[in-house]
Chain A
């Protein structure tokens, strides 16, 4: 039986030394779930248990994993599983730790997912920068092939499974699942119009399940210990644990695996050791650069970090990449930084995002360097409002979150940076 200490389901390598070695993983009960599934369980049963566990996608959207698997089109074959290991959201570094240090549990999750939808080929799409990691994973896949956990007719059954890595080459947009599929097909990483969704039209036009690394890493223990066990952690609607990537102005940045619905205060002050140099906390971004800026008051700090509650304080849990911002940070500088990121990463497909993000960056740049006017703030808000809801994927909307909430919730930071009257602007332009 796989050992679980406290609430560490995914970062178990911190409790079990050398869990990244196959023999250690096997000794801990590794691949028992996969073997049990392939030899004794109907594929639908695997999906049903995952559905019952209430596991939700950890990549950001929070969609119920088992439900996604059940959407797979059973009249169109072959099926594919693609693990999304493109981890590129500023502030997110959890999948990397899982793949580096608990890789076999992640593999087993991919393999269980593949069995559940009867895919014979599964791919892991890694961002190109995870170069060393991808080569390590390739070696480990070879080991699994040699040990009979991957390949033809597994455990004497008719089920066969191959696992491959595929390296991206530096594009944030490829974390969006349909852009990722396009990229895997050797095209520009640009999102597709949906519907159809990947479970009916995915990789090479075939039914495909795309899941985040962390999501998949949950599956082996859910199959081993059951849905009821998994639901001991977290809440009714957000069950399980979550790896929170903590970064920014905090004493001990890093990954912390906690039950969903732990509070921001617990994460930032108890685990993260609080804010350096005795500064006060000013704002929180709960889902990386894509998030809205949450004013870090007592109400926000005591908010449980689950999918529903974070929305109540004007944010989103997303991938749970918590960026801490202290009182020394000028929010107009920060917004310029996030807009710069999205300007660089916009794929160019949808006009409102492609043009709007460039326009926003002109404005945020001008405001940040002190040559903006009050009107620029109004215009910036207007451009952001006109990007929202008008693009094929979420990147457009993401680019506006910090802009809109920054201006709304920290207006003094913007006002302090711009000239009080328009005349000053005209002078600068001359």
Chain B
């Protein structure tokens, strides 16, 4: 048994049960989400274990990590703030929102803050075009939407996380 399997046995079993027994490769994406929970990115060791579990090559697992934007192979901020700056949001001021947010946080798009708590990314459409400006936050364990934002409201939310992290 791999370390991943050891730690999440029940959950992995539940995931594998969704697919035909000879098609367990389908579980690669859900398993990558589990692996990513630990540190917010997928390690080489995780890829190795997932490959073994599903009887595919490590390269195949790595290619999935590279192809899909919600998987990461490097550490980033504990909270990845992903601002939609696609056309419909841009028509409603997301460009300026993103710029001012970065200015206030002292972080450039694509960078992580020095305390490692957050990074800011500009992403493609998130299906929330009527509630722009908006962003989603990808943490190690989940993704949540923050819609109809102003720079002030976004900063308030971010400060709350910062306080929670320093309390820990």
Contacts and interface: CB of A to CB of B under 8 A. Distances in A.
A164 interface: yes
Contact of B26 (A90, A172, A185, A189): A185
B68 A128 contact: yes
Interface string B89-130: 011100000000000000000000000000000001111111
Given A185-B26, A341-B87, A132 B142 contact: yes
**Which 7 pairs across A and B sit closest by C-beta, in order of nearness?**
A170-B69, A169-B68, A186-B25, A253-B130, A247-B129, A131-B143, A90-B125
Contact of B32 (A87, A91, A169): A169
Interface string A191-218: 0000000000000100000000000000
A129 B70 contact: yes
A89 B127 CA distance: 8
Interface string B35-67: 000000000000000000010100010011001
Given A93-B128, A171-B69, A323 B87 contact: yes
A341 B124 contact: yes
A123 to B, nearest CB: 8
A337 B90 contact: yes
A129 B127 contact: yes
Contact of A167 (B30, B67, B130, B144): B30
A345 interface: yes
A265 interface: no
A170 B68 contact: yes
Interface SS, A side: mixed
B136 to A, nearest CB: 6
Contacts of B128: 93, 96
Contact of A90 (B60, B69, B88, B136): B88
A364 interface: no
Contact of A186 (B54, B70, B90, B125): B54
B69 A167 contact: no
A127 B88 contact: no
Contacts of B165: none
Contacts of B63: 188
Contacts of B64: 169, 186-188
B91 A129 contact: no
Given A170-B70, A186-B29, A255 B130 contact: yes
B91 A249 contact: yes
Given A132-B142, A171-B68, A344-B124, A185 B91 contact: no
Contacts of B87: 90-91, 248, 289, 323, 334, 337-338, 341
A416 interface: no
A89 B64 CA distance: 22
Given A168-B29, A168-B68, A325-B91, A247 B130 contact: yes
Interface residues of B, number: 40
Nearest to A162: B18
A188 B62 CA distance: 11
Given A169-B68, A337-B86, A204 B144 contact: no
Contact of B91 (A204, A247, A254): A247
Given A92-B129, A189-B68, A254-B130, 9 more contacts: A90-B129, A96-B127, A132-B142, A132-B143, A168-B29, A186-B56, A204-B23, A253-B92, A324-B91
A344 B26 CA distance: 25
B27 interface: yes
Contacts of B129: 90-93, 245, 247-248, 253, 321, 323
B88 A131 contact: no
A184 interface: yes
B67 A93 contact: no
Contact of B136 (A129, A169, A171): A129
B28 interface: yes
17 contacts: A91-B125, A93-B129, A95-B127, A96-B128, A123-B18, A128-B143, A129-B127, A129-B143, A166-B29, A185-B25, A186-B28, A186-B29, A187-B60, A248-B129, A249-B91, A325-B91, A337-B86
A166 B63 CA distance: 19
